[in-house]
Amino acid sequence: SRPILDMSYSRHFLDFQGSSIPSSMKKLVVTKLSQNFREAVTLQQDSPVPLPGDGDLLVRNRFVGINASDINYSAGRYDASVKPPFDIGFEGVGEVVALGLSASADYTVGQAVAYVKAGSFAEYTVVPARQAVPLPSVKPEFLTLMVSGATAYLSLKELGDLSEGKKVLVTAAAGGTGQFAVQLAKKAKCHVIGTCSSDEKGGFLKSIGCDRTINYKTENVESVLRKDYPEGVDVVYESVGGKMFDLALNALAIKGRLIVIGFIAGYQNPTGLPPVKAELLPAKLLKKSASVQGFFLNHYLSDYKMALQHLLKMYERGDLVCEVDFGDMSPEGKFTGLESVFRAVDYMYMGKNIGKIVVELPHSVNSKL
């Protein structure tokens, strides 16, 4: 066993690249509850760098992930009791630059880690060691698995009842989580249909194994499903909401399952969700012995590490494409630095991304030695 090093008081330590850990940093903070992310969130320039406690790691963030739920969080929809100001951002990948005494039994300075925890939109984040995931290197691809990959894996495993030959419809299939739903359903030998908003996204979906792509800007989703799948689809992985939810519900086969993992169509609406024709829901479900079930990752954390390890192995074996979108094709170019998180959120809600949107936080290392 390695000797334990007390590095709790990280201000006195050099980070592993030979520069001092600064005393202040930039971070994003929700200062007002609003479904308009730019109104809700402020970039603070000189927040104190937090100190790790006994069981904690201080992680210098290199890549942070953008999630549709960032807007729900900044609008106060997850926990009405939380009042601003509070930190935002759900996931990060970076290096450990300092750590507490008991955390040093399992981790070391310089180690690459990923984590899921509120407060990742910052240059440095304190992460409890037990919540960190050790990585072989700092790569943005690993970040795609933390929330998006794990959501697809656990929801389909727990609720999808996938088996060979089943027809699976994935909405927003070229997005951060849709890309994994497509690939995992293909690995279960299902026939996969994916909706998307451009031919470029359709090409990406075909490249990861999608059997039928439907560009909803140029094709009528309802007619395509009725014509090509008259018996209906067995499983729907649904993240759009509104009209798409209604279409998906109507397209279910006998004993079909509709898994709701989000409803992005409603996140930016001041009034919240666009209405669905839910008053007919009991009749529709009964007629087909069908089911609708929600999936929220936080309720499945007991299986989270198992899911992540499985996904990491698949990626390292080359069995999983982890598409990252850094916004290179966005009007102002690549998402670099915390100030670009605002652009990245806009880009996601415009439906431009292929794969998971990731922001890079470059660090200039000025050696003091």
Domain boundaries, the chain: 24-138+323-360, 148-299
Average the pLDDT over 274-289 and give the result.
89
174 neighbors 196 (Cβ within 8 angstroms): yes
pLDDT at 368: 38
148-299: CATH topology: Rossmann fold (3.40.50)
- Looking only at the bridges linking them, the beta strands covering 56-65 and 91-99 are antiparallel
Q: Tokens at residue 200, please?
A: 């470029």
pTM check: above 0.85 = yes
Write out the two tokens for 353: 């991304």
pLDDT digits (tens, 9 = 90+) for 192-207: 999 999 999 999 999 9
Q: Quick check: 185 and 156 in contact, CB under 8 A? A: yes
The whole-number average pLDDT for the span 277-306 is 94
- Between 53 and 7, the more confident residue is 53
Q: 99-113, 211-225, 284-298: lowest mean pLDDT where?
A: 99-113
Q: Which CATH architecture has domain 24-138+323-360?
A: Alpha-Beta Complex (3.90)
Strands (E), the chain: 24-30, 41-48, 56-65, 86-87, 91-99, 112-116, 124-128, 133-134, 167-170, 191-196, 212-215, 233-238, 252-260, 291-294, 324-325, 356-360
* Whether the Cβ atoms of residue 91 and residue 151 lie closer than 8 Å to each other: no
* pLDDT at 366 exceeding the cut of 50: no
Task: Look at residues 209, 214, 217, 261 and name the one whose alpha carbon lies nearest to residue 235.
Answer: 261
**Fold match, 24-138+323-360 / 148-299:** no
* Residue 16 pLDDT > 60: no
pLDDT value of residue 363: 76
| Predicted confidence (pLDDT) at residue 10 exceeds the cutoff of 70 | no
Candidate from 214-223, 226-235, 260-269, 330-339 with smallest mean pLDDT:
260-269
Give the percent of the chain with pLDDT over 90: 80
Flag the least confident range among 130-144, 263-277, 285-299.
263-277
Please report which confidence band the pLDDT of residue 274 belongs to, taking 50, 70 and 90 as the band edges.
confident
6-10, 80-84, 184-188: segment of lowest average pLDDT: 6-10
Q: Report pLDDT for 271.
A: 67
Specify the pLDDT at position 364: 58
Q: Which of 71-85, 165-179, 211-225, 304-318 has the lowest mean pLDDT?
A: 71-85
Sign of CA dihedral 308, 310, 311, 317: positive
* Alpha helices by DSSP H, 173-297: 178-187, 199-207, 221-228, 243-250, 281-288
Q: What is the pLDDT of residues 234-264, one digit of tens each?
A: 999 999 999 999 999 999 999 999 999 998 8
Q: What is the pLDDT of residue 276?
A: 81
Residue 273 has pLDDT above 50, yes or no: yes
% of the chain at pLDDT higher than 70: 92
**pLDDT at residue 73, as a whole number:** 92
Mean pLDDT rounded to a whole number for the chain: 91
